[in-house]
Structure 1
Amino acid sequence: MIRVVVADDQELVRAGFATILSVQPDIEVVAEAGTGREAVAAVERHRPDVALLDIRMPGLDGIEAARLICADTGTRVIMLTTFDSDEYVFAALHAGASGFLLKDVRRDDLLHAVRVVHDGQSLLAPGVTRRLIDDVLAVHRREGRAHVRQVPGLDQLTDRERETLVLLGRGLSNAELAKALFVTENTVKTHVSNVLSKLGLRDRVQAVICAYESGLIAPGG
C-alpha cells in the first residue's frame, strides 16, 4: 500500500486529488494539509511514502516544506503547481523533490506519478531536463562561478557507470538506457543504483544536475 499526504491550500483542489488517489486499491491517503507547516507535521506524524505538495501555500511554502521533509524523512515529494515556471522547477528539484506536476495533470498521469516516485524513480521528462539545466547554468553565471565543479565519488565510477550518468543527464528512461547501452533493464537498474550510491545522490533528478555541474555533459551537449 502506498501511503500519501496531500497538501494544498485550496480545499476543493486538495479534496479532488485525495479522492482520485484514495479510490485506488494500492493507495491510501493518510492525511490532508492546507499549509506547508501542516504538511510537514502530517509527514512527521504519519511517515507516508509520498507527499503531494502545492508550491504556493501560506506561511511555509511548498518548496520549504519539501526541503524539510526531504532532509528529515524518507518521504518522497511530488510538487504541484499551476505555474509552469522554470524557477519553480529548479527550486523544487533542488529542495529534494522527485517530481513536478501541473495541477491540470490528467488523472492517469497523477496516479502514474505517485507510483513511479514510490518505486524510487523520478519524474523528469527531457523537456523539463533542458529547462532545469538552463537554470543550473544561469545560477552559476549569476553567482560568477565556473560551470564545472568537483563531485566527490566521480572518480569511483566505472566507465559504464559514467556513461550511464551522462545518459541520465540527457533524460533517458530505463528502457531508453537499456537500448543505448545494449543491456537489460535489470542491468540498467544496477548501473543507476551504483551511480546514485557512489555519488551520494538521492535520485535520478540529482543525477541529472550532477552530470552537468561536473562537466560530464557540456552546455548544449
Structure 2
Amino acid sequence: MKMVLASGNQGKLTELKTMLAHLNIEVLSLADYPEMPETVEDGHSFESNAQKKAREAAEYTGLLALADDSGLEVDFLNGQPGVHSARFAGEPKDDAANNEKLLQLLKGLPWEKRTARFRCVIAICTPAGEMYTADGSCAGFILEQSRGDGGFGYDPLFYVPQYDKTFAELTMEEKNKISHRGIALKKAVQILERIKEGLIR
C-alpha cells in the first residue's frame, strides 16, 4: 500500500514514517512529485487547510493522501500566529525570523502570561475523495530564548513543564508521545489501519 504525505518537509516525513512503520505502508512525499503545483493554503482554519492539501494531493497522485496543518497559538497574541505560523514573519518561510518576531512581541512578558499551545489537524483523503480528520494539541510556554537543537519551527522556544524541556530538546520518542502532531498521528494511524483493512473506504 502506498500513501503520499502532502508535504515536502523532511522532519514531518521522518515522524510519519516512524509512526507508520508497523503498517507496512510505503510513504512518499511531495519531493517525489516536484511537478505538482503548490497548494495555496488560504483557509481560515487548520482543518480547511489540511483538507485542501490532502484532496489536491490525492487527486494529483491517485494515491491515498495525508496532510496536516499545524501551528502555534499564543494566548497573549489572541491565538496568533495560528494558521499563519509558517509565514509569521513574511515570505519566504523562515523559522529563525518567525522565532525572532515571536520573541519581540512577547518581550518583557511575565512567565504566567507566556502560555501557548501547538495544534494540529490531519486530513486523510482517499483516491475516491473520502475525507477523514484527526486532531491533537499540546500546551506549554514560550521561553525568552531558544533551547535545543532538534525539531523545527518554533520547537526551540516551546517549553513543556512535564519534561522540563523544549520540543527541540526532546527525543523523537518523547516528542511523539506528547506533541500535537504525535497525538493527531496516533488517531490518524487508527483511521489508516481501518482503511487498510477495508473497514472504511
Higher helix share: 1
- The structure with higher relative contact order (CA 8 Å, sep 6+) is 2
TM-score by length of 2: 0.33
Higher strand share: 2
